[in-house]
Structure 1
Amino acid sequence: MNIELKVSFYLKRESRLEKSSVGEKVAYPITGKIIIGNSIAQFATKLKVEERFWHIKSGRAIGKSRVAVELNREINKINLLIHSHYKDILERNGTVTAVEVKNAFQGIATTQKTLLVLFCEMMQEFHSRIGIDRAAGTYKGYRTTYKYLEQFLRKKYKVCDIPLTRLDLPFIEAFDFYLRVERGLKPASMITNIIYLQKAARIALHRNLISRPPFTGYKPEKPELHTRSLTKDELERFISTPLHKSRLCYIRDLFVFCAFTGISYADLKKLTWKEVIKEKDGSLWISASRQKTGIPFNVKLLDIPLQIMKKYKGCAKEDLVFRVPTSTTLNNSLKKIAVYCGIEKSLCWHMSRHSFASQVCLSQGVSIESVSRMLGHKDIRTTQRYAHVNNEKIGNDMKQLSLRLAGKFDYPASNQ
């Protein structure tokens, strides 16, 4: 594609009907023309000159008179400004048209927004809602995606930014390849970055900044789902293995509390005694709302979490139920506990929530609908990723089915 810039100047002469009488000195307006490839744009310079002082081939005034020198100086200034705007737009977007350069020269703001500018606006809006209905951890994910987009644009297209109109399927597939192959991200991490870009595209579409959804036809490589729940045996070993450090014992108790309530790290950290409700039958419940989504959840406290709460009551400040360390401290300690317990999995705190869904609830016959409500999920499909169906659950279900079917069907020994 030819993107070479050509700038020329010429006189805009009057038509025969409008031409002044012969012999009268007439100053004609000087018009500029910008040519970039197949795109052409004309603009008024607000300069005038008599035809006898104008050199058509050079597009300048002839002679060394004060009028000619000043006129040529103004034309050269315009020429330099146009070349400067041309370079700026080309460096920023990778492409440039004559109309874009003309608008920039004349100070006309273009209505076309760029990808990174929109992404920045989206991040700022998200940041303003942190602590209200957005989490700081998610904001870090947006910043990471922004960084990847910046690096990708410089490496692939040699530009700082691109217009939103260039956000199309080839761009998305190239960004996908960059994240998976060149950055070496795992499928789950890659998908997270693509989701943030998809959100930006959705905003652009709703604001009429683009005319059609750019993700149409895009099929990402789905990450392989791994079981993130402890098995029954692993959970028993995690609870019962002796630990000789009080700090590790405390962190283990917090993990077990989460494994028997399904509460997340963020919600555990802000859990207060006001959110522990006593019902008429004497049972205690956690009744709170998810920090991540604001969705309310209610979980009845079983014997094990009740014992843990009683054990550490009064240790936390203010009205908090527990004094919860940072997530980094917790996850590092879990890996040490796993070694003591002979658990080969790489433990992370979120496994407690998965273990609650799979081992504590689903395997014991609790319906997935109830599990979804207790976890505070918006969609039961999210719960299905948490609730791993194991052989024990299948065996129990089939045993109950066998009892229900007993005597309902009669199959003769010899069926001829």
Structure 2
Amino acid sequence: MQTPLSLEQYKEFTQSFLLRKSHRLPDGKHPIVLRIVYCGTRKELFTGQATLPQFWQSKFGMVANNTSDSHSINKELMRISNKVDEIFQNMKTTLGEFSIEEFIDQIKGKPKAPLTIMEYIDNRMVKLEKQVGVNVSKVTFYKYRRTARYFKEFLLTERKLENLPVSRIDQDFLETFLNFLRKEKANCHNSSSALMSCLKTILEEAVKARVIPYNPFINLPLTRKPVNRVYLTIDEIKSLQDLTGLSESLERNRDLFLLACFTGLAYADIKALKRNNIIVEPDGSKHIESYRTKSTVLSYIPLMKAAENILLKYSTTEDCRDFLWHVPSNQKLNASLKIIGKLAGIERNLFMHLARHTFATTITLSQGISIEAVSKMLGHTTLKHTQLYAKIVNTKVKAEMEKLKDSFGNF
């Protein structure tokens, strides 16, 4: 008794029921076994059914109908056959290729580690979603979600698969996916490396459990390249402050950007800013205490007068802490900032994170604020991150001095 399969599948996989005549049970019956042949390898499984040799019809793989229990036995064999065929079809769809041992384990229903890459990805996404707001930021969760979305698209478009055995992941596969991120999805080098690092974390469990025979990331370069961090000059900041004739929404978005310039807060931290984040000292001075959404590091930011004035502008009282405004999505905000920048005569495109760069360079380091203090205000986990901005300032100083080096040459 066999479930009909296509000719191509038949060549690859067959199943049949046999009577194990070499093994006799105490009641004289012989066990019925399921023989599976997959890619030239044969395995046999006990079905839990048995019959006498004279009632077994080997040609049809079933018990003759003239016995009292033939109906129940044949019904169970048909159920097993359908189940095996269903498992085979599912594994071909999701895995493409698999071993007969993996096939047998599925038939037996053995508890197992995840077999496919999508199982690992889905499991990690479920865990991350539960950790959001506890020890994982929304930004980090969204980055993993983006990685998962790109990977699914890569499998479908490049490999014509919905899934893949995780054991098939090797360095060549990862390099192809990395190339897909860069060329097809237009991610820069650093963004692609960040997404690949997410995939590396997802696959750590499979590597440790040796489900993947060796670590395919060992020789894969995922280093970050130095980025030319753009920022605004004091004159450009003033041109934004002096800009008039804006619509209500453009004016608000301009003010959100300027607040970021004067506080160093990232978009997510401005969106999360609340009254209780602004602390008033006994002497009347104010500062912002806020755990960074991205790193959960506490930022301590003395509130500049310019920043306080922006908050007062949107306050429902005379207290700057009672500000009330709508913060649009980062995408919409950045789109409007491009318009605002052009209206202000600024040649480069404005975007929210540029304001954070401006705070680190023009507002603080260029004005002699120590790198340690700037690091604390930015909420950086290490000084190494802040030193990137210090290098920019040093380069600027060098360029300025180049203009002066020959000025006093004849003295």
- Counting only pairs closer than 5 Å after superposition, residues 17-96 of structure 1 correspond to structure 2 as 26-52=28-54, 54=56, 58=59, 60=61, 65-66=66-67, 70=71, 75-96=77-98
Q: Do the aligned residues in 1 keep the contact of 2:30 with 2:53 (CA within 8 Å)?
A: yes
2:335 is equivalent to residue 332 of structure 1:
yes
Instruction: Tell whether the 8 Å contact from 2:312 to 2:320 is kept in structure 1 after alignment.
Output: no
- Which residue of the other structure, out of 238, 241, 244, is the alignment partner of 1:239? 241
Equivalent residue in structure 2 for 1:119, among 121, 128, 135: 121
Work out which of the residue numbers 376, 393, 400 in structure 1 matches 2:397: 393
Q: Which moved more, 1:207-216 or 1:150-159?
A: 207-216
Whole-angstrom CA distance in 1 between matches of 2:50 and 2:336 = 80
Shift of 1:297: 1.4
Contact 1:362 1:393 in 2 (8 A): no
Q: Give the superposition deviation at 1:93.
A: 0.7
CA distance in 2, matches of 1:111, 1:280: 59
Rg larger in structure: 1
- Cα distance in 1 between the residues matched to 2:91 and 2:318: 57
Q: TM-score, normalised by structure 2?
A: 0.79
Q: TM-score, normalised by structure 1?
A: 0.78
In the alignment, the residues of structure 1 paired with residue 139 and residue 153 of structure 2 have an alpha-carbon distance, to the nearest angstrom, of 22
Long gaps (5+) in structure 2: 1-8, 404-411
Write the distance in 1 (CA, Å) between the matches of 2:82 and 2:278: 72
Task: Classify 1:105/1:318 alpha carbon distance in 2 versus 1 (closer, same or farther; 3 Å).
Answer: farther
Q: Distance in 2 between matches of 1:77 and 1:279?
A: 76
Q: Supply the distance in 1 between the matched residues of 2:64 and 2:284 (Cα, whole angstroms).
A: 104
Structure 2 counterpart of 1:6: 14
Query: What is the Cα deviation at residue 90 of structure 1?
Result: 1.4
- Conserved 8 A contact 1:10-1:59: no
Which residue of structure 1 lines up, in the alignment, with residue 179 of structure 2? Answer: 177
Query: What amino acid does structure 1 have at the position aligned with 2:398?
Result: I
Q: Which moved more, 1:289-298 or 1:325-334?
A: 325-334
Q: 1:97 to 1:395 in 2, by over 3 A?
A: closer
Deviation at 1:397, TM superposition (A): 8.9
Contact 1:9 1:33 in 2 (8 A): yes
Which residue does the alignment assign to 1:149?
Answer: 151
Residue 246 of structure 1 deviates from its aligned partner by: 5.2
> Using the alignment, how far apart are the partners of 2:269 and 2:323 within structure 1?
11
Contact 2:181/2:192 (8 A) holds in 1 = yes
Aligned pairs, how many? Answer: 391
Contact 1:53 1:68 in 2 (8 A): no
CA distance in 2, matches of 1:284, 1:75: 78
* Counterpart position of 2:364: 361
* Percentage of pairs with the same residue: 27
Equivalent position SS for 1:46:
strand
Q: Which moved more, 1:377-386 or 1:128-137?
A: 128-137
User: Is 1:163 paired with 2:165?
Assistant: yes
AA aligned to 1:96 is: F
Question: Is the 8 Å Cα contact of residues 123 and 142 (structure 1) preserved in structure 2?
Answer: yes
- The 8 Å contact of residues 55 and 67 in structure 2, kept in 1 or not, is answered as no
Is 1:187–1:222's contact at 8 Å kept on the other side of the alignment?
A: yes
Looking at structure 1, the residues matched to 25 and 107 of structure 2 have their Cα atoms a distance apart, in angstroms, of: 31
- Give the Cα separation in 2 of the matches to 1:13 and 1:43: 14
Which amino acid in 2 is paired with 1:97? S
Q: State the match for 1:218 in structure 2.
A: 220
